[in-house]
Amino acid sequence: MAEKPSVLLIESSVQHIDHPRRQALSENVNFLIYDCSSVDEFIHRLQPGGTYSNITAIIRTGWLKAGPYASHLVFTNKSIVHYPPSLKLICCSGHGYDAADIEALTARGIWYCNTPNACTEAVANTGLSLVLESFRYLSYAQWCARFDWQKSRELGTKAVDPAGMVLGVIGMGDIGIAIAQKCEAALGMKIAYQGPRRKPDAEAKLKGGAQYYLDLLEMLSVVDCVVVAAPYTPSTHHLLSQREFRAAKKTGLRVVNIARGKIIDEEALVSALEAGQVVGIGLDVHENEPKVHDKLRENWMVTLLPHIAVCSDTSWANFEAGNWSNLESFLESGKPETPVNQV
């Protein structure tokens, strides 16, 4: 009888566990539980004769930002060069995959799978909330309710309802579309979007359609609020910086980011806020997180969240399901369901 393949399971302290599905899989695979104290220890265990020297797959499930392994970047080239020849599949929770060296994995013939659309609802709900916050400054109002009721009267000349305003979405993928739909339906906003190509299918999901812009500056000159929902890549690093903020309408731009912090140049964002080019900010992600820019942190007119847009049991359950589906498909056919790369 052939030996069961070994699967290394890297678990977050925050996850949804599908016990029946894991039990069924355990009949076909040998699970190893990751308990390394560091990436260096992980690399040591990958060496010939080591605990992980014969693994076929790695499954990383749950909330990647929580637990003792949150800082363990095990899918970068530092570790990849030590992977055993037996390793053929990596499945990891989440939409983004900027923490993995996809090119190096592909060169090694290793599938890398994310869990697309798994946390769309959670992140889109957070995006909707941050858009509203950027118009109504409700974080500041909460501060006032707790500490200085009278200062809340200042909101009378600043708060604006978003109905009829134009929302610009950078990155019209699953999450970008969902945010646009929610803002159109709940807040009465008009939708514009920017990206490398027009997406008629996405436009059709909106009752009022959406205006496409190839040029980012052109879109920023007409929108009232911009939501960043694009993946982080070298080409999107500091996609929003001084030049982009200067393109804003005279009435000012509101900026929301639920994607990756480094897409926004935060020094430029602070300068634009001080200059009145930006008049509202809602950030779930930060350029140098977990550190938050001092001037943003100290300004209660700015809404800040600690990278928790994904934070919902719905997301964890979807992550779990997506990872096991990819593993099952790979075991059955040699190809996973949602690969990021082709090998």
| CATH number where 326 lies | 3.40.50.720
Model confidence at 1, pLDDT cuts 50, 70, 90, reads very low
Please identify every residue annotated as catalytic: 260, 289, 307
Residue 177 in tokens = 């579309």
Are residues 253 and 176 located together in one domain of the fold? yes
- Kindly state the average pLDDT of the residues 121-141: 97
Q: Write out pLDDT tens, residues 2-56.
A: 589 999 999 999 999 999 999 999 999 999 999 999 999 999 999 999 999 999 9
Task: Give the per-residue pLDDT at 2.
Answer: 59
Residue 4 in tokens = 């069961």
Are residues 102 and 142 located together in one domain of the fold? no
Are residues 129 and 113 located together in one domain of the fold? no
- Kindly state the average pLDDT of the residues 213-239: 97
Residue 96 pLDDT > 90: no
In angstroms, the CA 282 to CA 301 distance is: 9
Helix, strand or coil, per DSSP, at residue 279: strand
Q: Write out pLDDT tens, residues 270-317.
A: 999 999 999 999 999 999 999 999 999 999 999 999 999 999 999 999
What is this structure's pTM? 0.91
Burial-class residue 48 by CB neighbours within 10 Å (0-12, 13-18, 19+). Answer: exposed
In a domain, 64, yes or no: yes
Packing angle of the helix pair 138-147, 120-136 (nearest 10 deg):
70
In angstroms, the CA 84 to CA 108 distance is: 10
In angstroms, the CA 194 to CA 162 distance is: 20
What proportion of the chain, given as a percentage, has pLDDT over 90?
98
In a domain, 343, yes or no: no
What proportion of the chain, given as a percentage, has pLDDT over 70?
99
Are residues 221 and 191 located together in one domain of the fold? yes
Given a contact cutoff of 8 angstroms between Cβ atoms, the answer to whether 56 and 62 are in contact is: no
Are residues 146 and 178 located together in one domain of the fold? yes
Provide the domain limits for residue 84: 6-118+314-333
- Kindly state the average pLDDT of the residues 182-202: 97
- Kindly state the average pLDDT of the residues 145-174: 96
Residue 256 pLDDT > 80: yes
- Kindly state the average pLDDT of the residues 212-241: 97
Task: Give the per-residue pLDDT at 172.
Answer: 95
Are residues 143 and 69 located together in one domain of the fold? no
Are residues 109 and 126 located together in one domain of the fold? no
Are residues 139 and 125 located together in one domain of the fold? yes
CA distances from 267 to 170, 181, 286 (A): 20, 31, 12
In a domain, 256, yes or no: yes
Task: Give the per-residue pLDDT at 266.
Answer: 98
CA distances from 163 to 224, 243, 301 (A): 11, 27, 20
Are residues 128 and 275 located together in one domain of the fold? yes
Are residues 110 and 130 located together in one domain of the fold? no
Are residues 152 and 93 located together in one domain of the fold? no
